[in-house]
Amino acid sequence: MAIKFQYNKTALQALDKQLKVRERALPTLKNKESALRVEVKRAKDKAAELGKEYDRQIGSYENMARLWGEFDQSLIRIKDVELSSKKIAGVFTPVLEKIIFETNTDNLFNQPVWFPDGMSIVKKIAEVAIEREVFLKKMDLLDFARKKTTQKVNLYEKVQIPGFQDAIRKIKRFLEDEDNLSKAAQKIVKDRQEKQRQEEVEV
């Protein structure tokens, strides 16, 4: 990234200020990036764990597949999923508070005796599946923020900070050269004036 600047003290001060802002922000950004990385892994691991639990529960009821064909699915349904949000490293993430089920037990008396157990099985499996989805969403949000933070860290570390340092170096060098030239010119003028004075004295 080419930084536009002018070769003067005002530009030097402005660039120095910009550089300091980025140098101060960089450690904070790096800490945020590593915190997000840890939280992404935690959410991913939890989602994987819940995925295994879901598969385990589904697998344990496979021997009842014929019975599930008879199960009346109108007996239980998800009415609502209550979520809250929690801020992690500056990112709002979902937290599962409660799953509200609606059960229809009016005609349960005419149904097979195992249906109440079937309802609690469906409830357990649904809870695991929903909790897994919440953790996957949390992981996605945190990972998106981590990628953005990584981009910013790279921009500061590899582009902007070296760019500002280079621009500051160039301005300082230019101002030093200008100062040296000015001093040399003053010396030449002084020497010339001194020589002229001597010539006048001799005449």
89-132: pLDDT as tens digits: 889 999 999 999 998 877 667 777 888 888 888 899 999 999 99
Report the DSSP beta bridge partners of residue 84: 95
Q: How much is the pLDDT for 14? A: 93
Distance between CA 191 and CA 13 in Å, rounded?
35
Q: Return mean pLDDT, the chain.
A: 89
pLDDT at 1: 58
Q: Which residues of 166-202 are buried (b: 16+ CB within 10 A; e: fewer)?
A: ebbeebeeeeeeeeeeeeeeeeeeeeeeeeeeeeeee
- When pLDDT is cut at 50, 70 and 90, the band that residue 203 belongs to is low
- Going from the N-terminus, what domains does the chain have, and what CATH number goes with each? 9-192 (1.10.287.3240)
* Centroid of chain to Cα 169: 32
Contact in structure between 102 and 76 (CB atoms under 8 Å): yes
- pLDDT value at position 16? 93
| Phi, psi values for residue 2, rounded to 5° | -80, 125
State yes or no: pLDDT of 28 exceeds 70. yes
H/E element holding 29?
A: helix 9-60
Predicted structure pTM score: 0.77
Q: Residue 48: its pLDDT value, please?
A: 97
**91-103 and 76-88 as β-strands: parallel, antiparallel, unpaired?**
antiparallel
Give the model's pLDDT for residue 85. Answer: 95
User: Does the pLDDT at position 76 exceed 70?
Assistant: yes
pLDDT for the residue 151? 97
